[in-house]
Structures are given as C-alpha cells and as structure tokens.
Amino acid sequence: MRSGEDWRRVFDQAAGAMAIMDLQGRYLHVNATLCRLLGYQPHELEGRDYRDVTHPDDVDPEGPLPSDQPLEKRYLRPDGGVVWVLVARSVVCDEDGTPRYFLSQFQDITARREAELLWQRSFANAPIGMAVVDLKGVWTAVNDALCAMLGYDRDELLGMSFTDITYEGDEPQSFDSLADLIEGRADAVTLEKRYRHKQGHPIWVMIRATTVPGVDGSPAYVVSQYEDIGEQRLVDAHLAHLALHDPLTGLANRALLSDRLEQGLQQLERGDAVLAVVLVDLDRLKPVNDRYGHAAGDQLLIAAARELQLAVRAGDTVARLGGDEFVVVSMLADENAAHALRDRVERRLNTEAVVHGTSVRLSASVGHAVTADPQDSPERLLDVADREMYSRKRRRRSDQQ
C-alpha cells in the first residue's frame, strides 16, 4: 500500500463487513458491506457510538474490549429489525505499540441463530420427551416432558447414561440401536423399551433416534424422541389376549391351541420327549343348564377350567374348544407320564363343584393321544384323543349299568 487512499479503497470495497472504532467505541470508518448489513448510510454510523445500534440486552457497558473469541450479539436496524452478528474485534497499534483503534469484522449469523432458536423452542416445548445424547449414551440435554415422564429433575438426568435407568433385559437392544447409528448402519432407529421411573415402577417408552453429523460428516451426537406407550401396550395386550383366549373361562381358544400344537410338534425334533394331547368332555353341562339355567352352566364351565389348571403344570396349555370340550397340551418325558396326566385330569374333573350356592357333581370323560413324531398332525392327535374319550365314556356307562 502506498497511500491512505489505497488503504481506504481496499477497506471500502472489502466483501466482508468491517468497521474501525476509536478506543471509546465511536465508529470512525465503516465500509459499504457493513452499511448494507445494518441498513444505515455511512454518515449515519460514522461518529456514532456502536452501543447506540446494539440491542439493549447485548450492550457491554464497560465499552469495547478486544476479544480472543468472536462475540455473538444483536444489532438494531433503522427499520426496527434485528440482525444477529458474529463480531471479531482486534486492536490496531501505532509504531510504538500504543493502541489506537479497534478493527471489527462482522459476519451475519441471523439465519443460523433463528434456526437455533426455533430448535431450542421446539425442543423445550415439545409435547413428547426429547433429549440430546452423546455417542456414549449420556444425556447432554433434556426437555421438561422427558423429565416429567421419568420423574427426574433436569439436573439429575443431565450427565446420566440411559443405561442407568434401563431395565437389564432391555439393554442389549439399546446398545445395538446406538451402535447402528454411530457406525452408520442406520440413519434412524425406533425401539420400544422400559425405563425405571424415579419412584421405581417401569415405564414403556417408544424411542425414535437419529444422529446429527459433525463437521467431518461422522455422527456427532444423537437426538431422541420419547413417547410413553404404557397405556397403549396395556390396550394392545388386552386385545391380543381377547383374540387368543376364551372370553368365559380365560383359557386358550382354538387359534392359540392350534399354535401350541404346532410348536409342540416342532419341539419333538429334539427327540427327547413326547407330545400329549388330553381331550375332555363334560358329562353334566346340559342337565345343569336345563335345571338351573345357562348362567349356572357357565359357572360349571368356569369351575371345570379352574380344576383343569390345577391338574397341569405351569408350562402346559389348557384350551376350551367350545361348548363342553376342553384340551390339554403337554410336553412330557414318555407315554407313562402322558397316561398319568390323563388320569390326573380325570380325577380333578370328577368332583363336587358349587354352582350358584348349590353343590353339583362335576364329571367328565377324558381321552388322550401321544406322539413322538414331529411329522404328526394336530388334527390326527385330536381325533385319536376324541375317539379314546368316547370309548372310555361308553365303557364307564356300561360299567354303571
């Protein structure tokens, strides 16, 4: 540079917004780019204190100071608008090192700040839980909805890992989902899991999570949304139960029985058990209906269901086929165990039952089928058990005559 005019020409034509201030904060020179950014003419800024056009909340009362890091602040435009600006301020010294001026450089960050404010407000006021999680699973930001859902204060959750309140059985899928995000196998994941509320009870939550990339394009952190689905899971579980169970007795219905029979046949491929199917036909349902009414008959069916459940093991399936027929499905060690199960069921169902305050004799005919062949069919097993049941019923009636 050979003259002040050359310096001024470069300053005025610079693509970046720039200003020179005295040490008290008055603009001495402003370039055209800064004037366009703030909406003023040069003569409206030069000689004016920079604090006059600074947003009141961002004024630094001690005056201009050099900054090691750029400052984010707002400036007021003459039309009433506000501009968010990143300001870098450095000291210009004379030849002997005495500070003479400040050189300020300005970058418009209004769009970025508006996007940040929109995100902050959306995050804070979201009706569902939201959080920012680092790549180790630690919550670094949480909103009020998540705090209310989990029962913790914000300060308690911040710095806590999601594993701290995740039920042990749900941890593997949580780690797998986080790994999928971090390692780029998925852009977003959805999972259902249980969190432990601060008061100790479980909360079923649906989590939708996605990664936010850093400057190098790799995941920098995870943004998660949390929705309490506990009530919905109860509704779904209730509907699923209704679809697979008899509404009167609560036992398995035909659909669930068919599934359990197929599962049992598949288990026979291991070669270390037999599948037993016990078919039960109540003998006295019609007389009870005729004498006491169908409500009494329903009570008799409920009593029979209760006795059947007492006769079997916890892992066995007890189903009602409809009317007065019931089925038990059990995996057992051998045929002797299957015979013993049939006899135990028969004993439990030949007893006294109280129906509407009246003692009624509960009796049933019982037959069974046994197979060790995984290629067998549910239909054949039920047919064999049905035929044995009727054979035993006829035999018993003959013995009673």
The string of pLDDT tens digits covering residues 228-243 is 887 666 566 666 667 7
Pick the more confident residue, 190 or 363: 190
Hey, what's the torsion of the CAs at 133, 139, 141, 145, to 10 degrees?
Answer: 110
* pLDDT, position 170: 85
Question: Is the pLDDT assigned to residue 1 strictly greater than 50?
Answer: no
The pLDDT tens digits of the residues spanning 50-105 come to 999 999 999 887 777 777 788 899 999 999 999 999 999 889 998 888 999 999 99
Which SS3 state, helix, strand or coil, does residue 216 take? Answer: coil
Q: Which one, of 254, 279, 275, lies nearest residue 365 by Cα?
A: 279
Q: For residue 33, count CB atoms less than 10 angstroms from its CB and return exposed for 0-12, middle for 13-18, buried for 19 or more.
A: middle
What DSSP line would sit under 243-274, residue for residue? Answer: HHB-TTT--B-HHHHHHHHHHHHHHGGGSS-E
Question: Is the pLDDT assigned to residue 292 strictly greater than 70?
Answer: no
CA atoms within 13 A of residue 215's CA, in its CB half-sphere: 0
- Lowest-pLDDT range, 3-12, 116-125, 260-269, 343-352? 3-12
Say what percent of the chain tops pLDDT 70: 92
Rg (CA), the chain: 40
Cα–Cα dist 195/201, whole Å:
8
* pLDDT, position 117: 87
Cα–Cα dist 138/160, whole Å:
6
Residue 23's CB is within 10 A of a number of other CB atoms, namely 12
The pLDDT tens digits of the residues spanning 111-167 come to 999 888 888 898 999 989 999 999 999 999 999 999 999 999 999 999 899 999 998
Mean pLDDT of the chain: 87
Domains of the chain: 4-113 (3.30.450.20), 126-233 (3.30.450.20), 245-400 (3.30.70.270)
Cα–Cα dist 224/208, whole Å:
6
The pLDDT tens digits of the residues spanning 252-271 come to 888 889 988 998 899 888 88
The pLDDT tens digits of the residues spanning 27-48 come to 999 999 999 999 999 999 999 9
